[in-house]
Amino acid sequence: MAISAKDVMALREKTGAGVMDCKKALTDADGDMNKAADLLRERGIAKADKKASRIAAEGIVACYIDGNVGVLIELNCESDFVAKNPQFLEIANECAKVVVACNPADVEALLACNTAENGSVEEYLKSKIAVIGEKIAVRRFVRYESASFLASYIHLGGKLGVMLDMAGEATDAAKEVAHDVTLQIAFTKPAYLTKDEVPADVIENEKNVLLNQALNEGKPQAIAEKMVMGRIKKFYEENCLLEQAFIKDDSKKICELLKGANASIAKFAFFVMGEGLEKKSEDLSEEVAKQVAAMKN
């Protein structure tokens, strides 16, 4: 039967698939729109599965907050072009909404959870892979359920994200300080909230390194040991959020800033997009050669 251009465009709008794929699906489905959509989904999932071995080292960090529950999530893809597409942020937010609702233990558990309208998260991601044409994967997430309020900051369109769980009353002053602290975290990237959170073995190792540094500088043992105490203080100031100097006014520590607003922090999280992931490196000639070879098959 003849397939009209109007039907092809209607199916394309419904599924997001390419024109030729839509035309073929309608032909195979004898013009049945719903059956054609199912065929595209089936074929799309098959294509999505083939992309599982690709490296997804681009992407975004996003934050979704619903009342006192918030999620910081990293969603990866293969290219910066896709990461900058507004649709990609929608995918990240959809996954984050499921984390808010289902509170999965990890990414594997998240994939088995159901979305509001698109089947499981795994099925939902596969359908998006089929449309976008790149591997898409949830790498990690953090879910906070606050007794007070949450604050967040996303830097450079998703290259880095911060989520802050505040304690105490949600006053205007506390909210203003919370915003400043999210910027502080994004800028300084502290590893711990307080000095007490630093593991004993980390401090012991740091002391040994600092002691050897001082000895290598030619300092006597007794002097070197005294120098270590001063340098450990600097370690705390650099790595513990509450001990850091406020980036907008270095005469104040973050703990003093919070005290002035009668506010406190329960915990915080920050993700740097792609941190620790190996990016695939290929030159243009190799990429073109691969595309030509694929067209011949």
* Distance, CA of 116 to CA of 247 (rounded, Å): 42
Write the pLDDT tens digit of every residue in 188-230. 999 999 999 999 999 999 999 899 888 988 999 999 999 998 8
What stretch(es) of the chain map to CATH 1.10.286.20? 195-265
pLDDT (0 to 100) of residue 287? 44
CA 168, 238, 181: angle at the middle one, nearest 5? 30
| pTM (2 d.p.) | 0.75
Write the pLDDT tens digit of every residue in 109-118. 999 999 988 8
* Residue 292 or 215, more confident: 215
Yes or no: is domain 195-265 CATH 1.10.286.20? yes
Beta strands in 45-159 (DSSP E): 58-66, 69-77, 137-145, 149-155
What stretch(es) of the chain map to CATH 3.30.479.20? 58-145
% of the chain at pLDDT higher than 70: 88
**Which whole-number Å values give the CA distances from 30 to 39, 129, 133, 261, in the listed order?**
12, 26, 26, 68
* Distance, CA of 39 to CA of 24 (rounded, Å): 10
Yes or no: is domain 58-145 CATH 3.40.50.1470? no
**Span 39-59, average pLDDT:** 66
What stretch(es) of the chain map to CATH 1.10.8.10? 5-47
For residue 16, pLDDT beyond 60: yes
pLDDT (0 to 100) of residue 44? 61
| Mean confidence (pLDDT) of the chain | 88
**Span 266-283, average pLDDT:** 77
pLDDT (0 to 100) of residue 275? 86
Q: What is the CATH T-level fold of the domain 5-47, as seen in this structure? A: Helicase, Ruva Protein; domain 3 (1.10.8)
